[in-house]
Amino acid sequence: SQQGEEDPQALSIQEGENATMNCSYKTSINNLQWYRQNSGRGLVHLILIRSNEREKHSGRLRVTLDTSKKSSSLLITASRAADTASYFCATSTAGKSTFGDGTTLTVKP
Amino acid sequence: DVKVTQSSRYLVKRTGEKVFLECVQDMDHENMFWYRQDPGLGLRLIYFSYDVKMKEKGDIPEGYSVSREKKERFSLILESASTNQTSMYLCASSFWAGSTGELFFGEGSRLTVL
């Protein structure tokens, strides 16, 4: 089974609303990363949070990490139609990254 | 900007053919990875490499091999393609040796095996 599991699998919102995606994982990690994938393309790195950090911001993105619950969340504020994509969390341990199944976000204009 | 280039965006091969997927990165990264991506299964690690001529098995290495003769190039080889290897293949590289930093991905190679 995947180390990281995203929830929900699919999310549809209106432009301007906030989008929250969650990721749960099973084992200890060095860091957790979030990636974005446009349809049929490669993944693009969004943000990395280390195991000793609790929250991190980058532009309209806010990531939290709770190592006691083995979970992370990605918040995209003031969403835009261009944010439509799949979002993946990846946990890193011993030099390898393991990805979840992703959340497909649709932002309606 | 870091660039990871995969040689073919779309390939169609027949069962039993030998398939080469090439990946080149231009940022002198030590680490290179091959993943396959299937609906409902996410990205699964096939093989990775921390250095030239070095390779490590990932989670699903069966039916695949790899080659890393030069630091910038990491090739995935399907010795005898089968229909269950129809998938999107993603190559990635990263800078930190022995650790995992940001992964840089290529655009993917969508392989169909008939």
Q: Could A97 and B41 be called an inter-chain contact, meaning their C-beta atoms sit closer than 8 Å? A: no
Q: How confident is the model at residue A71 (pLDDT cuts 50, 70, 90)?
A: very high
Three-state SS annotation for chain A = CCCCEEECCEEEEECCCCEEEEEECCCCCCEEEEEEECCCCCEEEEEEEECCCCEEEECCEEEEEECCCCEEEEEECCCCHHHCEEEEEEEEECCEEEECCCEEEEEEC
Q: What φ, ψ does residue A83 adopt, rounded to 5°?
A: -80, -10
pLDDT of the residue at B95: 82
Q: Does A100 touch chain B (CB under 8 A)?
A: yes
- The CA distance from B17 to the nearest CA of chain A, in Å, is 25
Q: How confident is the model at residue A67 (pLDDT cuts 50, 70, 90)?
A: very high
Q: What angle do CA B88, A24, B95 make, to 5 degrees?
A: 55
Residue B44 scores a pLDDT above 70 = yes
Per-residue pLDDT tens over the stretch B50-103: 889 889 999 999 999 999 999 999 999 999 999 999 999 999 998 865 555 789
pLDDT of the residue at A2: 44
CA-wise closest residue to B2 among A50, A86, A44: A44
Q: Could B103 and A43 be called an inter-chain contact, meaning their C-beta atoms sit closer than 8 Å? A: yes
Long-range contacts from A78-82, C-beta under 8 angstroms, 24+ separation: A78/A16, A78/A18, A79/A13, A79/A15, A79/A16, A79/A17, A79/A18, A79/A19, A79/A105, A79/A107, A80/A15, A80/A107, A81/A15, A81/A107, A81/A108, A81/A109, A82/A107
Strands B23-25 and B19-21: unpaired
Per-residue pLDDT tens over the stretch A33-59: 999 999 989 999 999 999 999 999 999
Residue B5 scores a pLDDT above 90 = yes
* % of chain A with per-residue pLDDT over 70: 94
- The CA distance from B92 to the nearest CA of chain A, in Å, is 9
Residue A1 scores a pLDDT above 50 = no
pLDDT of the residue at B90: 97
Cα B40 to Cα B54: distance, rounded to the nearest angstrom: 31
Q: Specify the higher pLDDT residue, A29 or A108.
A: A108
Output the CA–CA distances (angstroms, integers) from residue B28 to B32, B71, B76, in the order listed.
10, 7, 19
Q: Specify the higher pLDDT residue, A94 or A106.
A: A106
